[in-house]
Amino acid sequence: MSRELLIKLREQGGLSRPEFRQLLAAHEPGLQAEAAALATALREQHYGNRVFIRGLLEISNYCRQDCFYCGIRCSNRKVQRYRLSPEQILECCEMGYPLGFRTFVLQSGEDPGYSDELISDLVREIKLRHPDCAVTLSLGEKNFSAYKAFREAGADRYLLRHETADAAHFGRLHPLKQSLQNRMRCLQDLRSLGYQVGSGFMVGSPFQSPQTLAEDLYFLSEFKPEMVGIGPFLPHRDTVFANAKPGDMNLTLFLLSILRLMLPKVLLPATTALGSIAPEGREKGVLAGANVIMPNLSPPEARDKYMIYNNKLRTGAEGAEGLRLLAEKMRAIGCEIAVDRGDYPDA
């Protein structure tokens, strides 16, 4: 019965909300294993054994937003704030290129200290120095003209998780001045500008329910993002949700498989949060259908300060040695790290 739902999801690219709820309610180890087998077969069909790497640059932890779950929310006065200079960011790219990185992801809080012009200039410079690389931005909610300027400067992709597709749930995770409506406006703007767009959500965020999760899956089945980032919610001690329980690894893995079945070509990272919650979390993610890993290329001082949750995975995958280790781990599960931009097929 539930296996039929997995097949139906694969054949139709979506399910009704009640069917998604039914599938989630049926989650147990046997079904999870079946979902993973179907998902990895699809991943192999579209991508072979190739896993794409993205060099993650955490360029600033200043943030004007106050998301209740996030360690770098503006009301957390304990954070040592930092902002990398364009020169420092370019240096990180210079270091990453010879290691095989062909995508650089510039991620930050919503930092008013970077003007739209500065970001645009930076994107232009990275593309000039590395014409064969993709630039992905993950800088939060901006207005249309900012997204347009970044795109015209050469940015290829943009990551902006919707966090939850249920407006009431969104309201319990964010202060009043943030809204699901504006988040959705941003995603539409990004799509209309021709970005490859990434969205996603945390698994096990406070007040999440099978209903809200079904809504997330339904939204993603309709929006069809080119990339989807999901990872377990992990509490941060200086946030509203300090004592909330972390998200479940197996539910995350099951959802990764569901996403692969639903969006067969999606670029699906085994996220840092997944790697942080369990040893070999990222390998397990790839074995559930993920095909992207995002090693951290930020300078070590920045990495320590970009604490969106406690006990964040701190691998040295940035160095040649660290990347060699990652490649070995991927080989051990039958995969190969690709030196490639790793675009969405036919993007």
Name the one range near ligand 5AD by CB under 6 A: 14-22, 213-221, 229-237, 328-336.
Answer: 229-237
Cβ 231 to ligand 5AD, closest distance in Å?
A: 6
| Residue 151 touching ligand 5AD (CB under 6 A) | no
| Residue 234 touching ligand 5AD (CB under 6 A) | yes
Site track for ligand 5AD across 52-91, x = CB under 6 A? -----------------xx---------------------
Q: 72 near 307, Cβ under 8 Å?
A: yes
Q: Tell me what percent of the chain is helix, strand and coil, each rounded to the nearest 5.
A: 45, 15, 40
Non-local (6+) Cβ contacts of 48 within 8 A are: none
Distances (CA, A) of 103 to 28, 208, 217, 270: 36, 32, 27, 16
Cβ atoms within 10 Å, residue 78: 8
Binds ligand 5AD by CB under 6 A, chosen from 6, 42, 133, 202:
202
Of the two residues 22 and 310, which places its CB atom closer to ligand 5AD in the complex? 310
**What is d(CA 9, CA 30) in angstroms, rounded to the nearest whole number?**
18
Instruction: State which residue has the least CB distance to ligand 5AD.
Output: 309
**What is d(CA 239, CA 74) in angstroms, rounded to the nearest whole number?**
10
Q: 249 near 202, Cβ under 8 Å?
A: no
Cβ 18 to ligand 5AD, closest distance in Å?
A: 26
Q: How many residues bind ligand 5AD (CB under 6 A)?
A: 12
Cβ 310 to ligand 5AD, closest distance in Å?
A: 8
Tokens 């990872």: give the residue: 231
| Residue 142 touching ligand 5AD (CB under 6 A) | no
Tokens 């004007």: give the residue: 64
Q: 107 near 55, Cβ under 8 Å?
A: no
Of the two residues 255 and 273, which places its CB atom closer to ligand 5AD in the complex? 273
Distances (CA, A) of 50 to 117, 267, 339: 36, 12, 9
Name the one range near ligand 5AD by CB under 6 A: 26-34, 122-130, 231-239, 289-297.
Answer: 231-239
Of the two residues 164 and 257, which places its CB atom closer to ligand 5AD in the complex? 164
Of the two residues 165 and 202, which places its CB atom closer to ligand 5AD in the complex? 202
Contacts to ligand 5AD from residues 273-332, by CB under 6 A: 273, 308-309
Q: What angle do CA 7, 10, 11 make, to 5 degrees?
A: 85
Residues that bind ligand 5AD (CB under 6 A): 69-70, 161, 163, 202, 231, 233-234, 236, 273, 308-309
